[in-house]
Chains A and B, each alone.
Chain A
Amino acid sequence: MAMLEVDNLHVYYGMIHALKGVSFSVNEGEVIALIGANGAGKTTTLHTITGLLSAKQGSIRFEGKDITKTPAHKIVEMGIAHVPEGRRIFSQLNVYENLIMGAFTRKDKAEIEDSLAMVYRRFPRLEERKNQRAGTLSGGEQQMLAMGRALMSRPKLIVMDEPSMGLSPIFVNEIFDIIQVVSEGGTTVLLVEQNARKALSIADRAYVLETGKVTMEGKADELLHNEAVQKAYLGE
């Protein structure tokens, strides 16, 4: 059984029918990419999975449990962390306080310290700036903080929304390297990206979303060489 199963999801924003029956699955240990143009429904899909939006129809199952109607704050506890689009760090708090906020649902202090050490190992720059106000970090550092904060909940599945958006090319490479490290560390990754080439280069499988529907799916390297995908999303 897949770790995450999304089945025939329909989501509306008022009158707008944003998702029109999206189905896909994520197996444990995989890196899955959702690619597609602006407005295809990628972010909506992620928000519905983590409970920020609710589905009108369809179901989401995580490790066999139906989480379609589970509120957002309970989903974190079940093991899904969401790195939101635009990072959404707490800019008034410092780096350390942001990271601790990521461990909000956890109680064991020693384990939280372990996770903090792990995040600092993975992002040495965050340790250097742990007392700095998060709002004063550069875009790339804020993205690292958002990822570090998500890892602080020790997720089984990490959901990332446009982690490379607005970053310089050097940071983009760094962020994708980190995603691979996170994946190798045993965390399953569901990645939404406009940078389709990069996303497909690190993903195992991918789904292409178009105006609220999955129009293509397959192994990432196959999609990378698919003519239609190349034309529409890889600029060739």
Chain B
Amino acid sequence: MSFLTYLKDGISLGSVYAIIALGYTMVYGIAKMLNFAHGDVIMVGAYVVLMMITRAGLHPLLAVLIAMAACTVLGMTIEMVAYRPLRKAGSPLAVLITAIGVSYLLQNIALLMFGADGKTFINVVSLPSLSLFDGGLVISGTTIVTILANIIIMICLTLFVKKTKQGRAMQAVSEDRDAAQLMGINVNGTISLTFAIGSALAAIAGVLLCSAYPVVTPYTGAMPGIKAFVAAVFGGIGSIPGAMLGGILLGVIEILGRAYISSQVADAIVFGVLIIVLLVKPSGLFGKNVQEKV
């Protein structure tokens, strides 16, 4: 039964990676940039929830909604202030470096406000555990909520992109920014919306991550952010189902690696798998082989 337990933990952790990876993959697909500050938005989301519950005494669900709103505003502001002017200047490298800068900025602001010590996170999920096989496999409420949240988010996002006008605008901007403008699509507005969605999802990911691993530090978002980026590349960056599959596979590999091989090299295994996948299929599992336009 221990294998099933590890598998369940892997899927749960992977679901968090998948939700973070969605933010990476959508922003890359539409704005053609890697937002390395995305992981740190998770940390901000977690701190906001913690403050809202412990200091303001709000209901956890309300706290999560406020964190989502705060992260949405944060994501849109970062895009507008830090990335948009550089996008106009047309240097992808400058945008990338700025994203790394924003990442450190957020970490250091958190360090200043909350200190370097980890704060104990309060589990916001009050669901009872599920016991299967006469107690052989216990699935915690947090795990159930995490996996369900991942599935619901994936379905909603897919429907949004395929069925709504704003979703179609995203598809158009992702394929050809100039042509999208000629259709009457507001490209800056569409990119802004993408950051808003990705950041709101990051807040959810932050809550779920910290509910399962209940400590928040200013660096809480950094490693999961990098791993989610790996998951997005693994699945094929720009692809929504790719982010989902990549995230879950990554989580499972990490937990199984930790359980059966060594907890010290689990991260090395994760990145090793990425290298192998990219050697065999450079565009990722679901990646399209889109040729660069000249």
A residues whose Cβ falls under 8 Å from a Cβ of B = 50-52, 71-74, 76-77, 81-82, 84, 88-93, 97, 100-102, 104-105, 149, 153
In the complex, which residues of chain A have a beta carbon less than 8 angstroms from the beta carbon of B176? 88, 90
- Residue of A52, A74, A76, A92 near B183 (CB, 8 A) is A76
Whether B171 pairs with A72 at a CB distance below 8 angstroms is no
In the complex, which residues of chain B have a beta carbon less than 8 angstroms from the beta carbon of A51? 181
Whether B178 pairs with A101 at a CB distance below 8 angstroms is no
In the complex, which residues of chain B have a beta carbon less than 8 angstroms from the beta carbon of A97? 168
A155, B259: Cα distance in complex, Å: 64
Q: How far is the CB of B169 from chain A (nearest CB, A)?
A: 7
In the complex, which residues of chain B have a beta carbon less than 8 angstroms from the beta carbon of A77? 184
CB of B179 within 8 A of chain A? yes
Q: How far is the CB of B83 from chain A (nearest CB, A)?
A: 18
In the complex, which residues of chain B have a beta carbon less than 8 angstroms from the beta carbon of A52? 178, 181-182
A105, B182: Cα distance in complex, Å: 10
A52, B175: Cα distance in complex, Å: 16
Question: Which residue from chain A places its CB closest to the CB of B171 in the assembled complex?
Answer: A93
- Residue of A100, A104, A149 near B185 (CB, 8 A) is A104
In the complex, which residues of chain B have a beta carbon less than 8 angstroms from the beta carbon of A105? 183-184
In the complex, which residues of chain A have a beta carbon less than 8 angstroms from the beta carbon of B172? 90, 93, 101, 104
Question: Which residue from chain B places its CB closest to the CB of A90 in the assembled complex?
Answer: B175
- The number of chain B residues with a CB under 8 A from chain A is 17
Main secondary structure of the interface of B (DSSP, over half): helix
Whether A101 pairs with B168 at a CB distance below 8 angstroms is yes
Q: How far is the CB of B85 from chain A (nearest CB, A)?
A: 16
A93, B171: Cα distance in complex, Å: 9
A188, B169: Cα distance in complex, Å: 27
A74, B187: Cα distance in complex, Å: 11
CB of B59 within 8 A of chain A? no
A-B contact pairs, 24 of them (CB 8 A): A50-B182, A52-B182, A72-B182, A73-B181, A73-B185, A73-B186, A74-B184, A81-B182, A82-B182, A84-B182, A88-B178, A88-B182, A89-B179, A90-B176, A92-B171, A92-B175, A100-B168, A101-B172, A104-B168, A104-B169, A104-B172, A104-B184, A105-B183, A153-B184
CB of B288 within 8 A of chain A? yes
Chain A to chain B: the 10 pairs with minimum beta-carbon distance, closest first: A76-B184, A105-B184, A72-B181, A88-B179, A104-B183, A104-B184, A82-B182, A73-B186, A73-B184, A90-B175
Question: Which residue from chain B places its CB closest to the CB of A81 in the assembled complex?
Answer: B182
A76, B178: Cα distance in complex, Å: 13
In the complex, which residues of chain A have a beta carbon less than 8 angstroms from the beta carbon of B178? 52, 72, 84, 88
Q: How far is the CB of A37 from chain B (nearest CB, A)?
A: 21
A81, B179: Cα distance in complex, Å: 11
A67, B179: Cα distance in complex, Å: 19
Q: How far is the CB of B167 from chain A (nearest CB, A)?
A: 11
In the complex, which residues of chain A have a beta carbon less than 8 angstroms from the beta carbon of B55? none
Question: Which residue from chain B places its CB closest to the CB of A152 in the assembled complex?
Answer: B183
A74, B182: Cα distance in complex, Å: 9
Q: How far is the CB of B88 from chain A (nearest CB, A)?
A: 11
In the complex, which residues of chain A have a beta carbon less than 8 angstroms from the beta carbon of B183? 73, 76, 101-102, 104-105, 149, 153
